[in-house]
Amino acid sequence: MTLRLILYLSIILVGAYIGYKDFVHKNILDKLISIQSISILILLFVMGIKIGGDKEVISSFFTLGYQAFIFSVFSIALSVGFVMIIRRFIFNKNDMTDEEEKEGEV
């Protein structure tokens, strides 16, 4: 398991390095969105086959679906909440510096 994680991270880092250094031709970069979309569709199809073939997953589908729904709702709600809190903190900080600069000009 650890070896796979290292492999995945290495592949991501190599891809990021290649993209950063502009080693890929512009024509290929323009086609990457299509390649990514097709790859994701194939991945989802294969995952569907794998899930459909597992009888335990099918028998506990509603329990797993309920748990996944609750988990996703809380993940989304907390993510949005934290972004709003951080955004207010950052914008309040910037607003204060703008107001202080205006006071200094008068």
Position 10 pLDDT exceeds 90: yes
Residues 105 and 54 in one domain: no
pTM: 0.49
Look up the domain containing 65 and give its range.
61-106
Please compute the mean of the pLDDT values over residues 63-74 and round it to a whole number. Answer: 87
Based on the domain organization, do 67 and 96 belong to the same domain?
yes
Q: What is the DSSP letter of 21?
A: T
Cα–Cα distance, 88 to 39 (Å, whole number): 38
Instruction: Say which amino acid occupies 84.
Output: M
What the block records as the tokens of 83 is: 């972004």
69 and 55 fall within a common domain: no
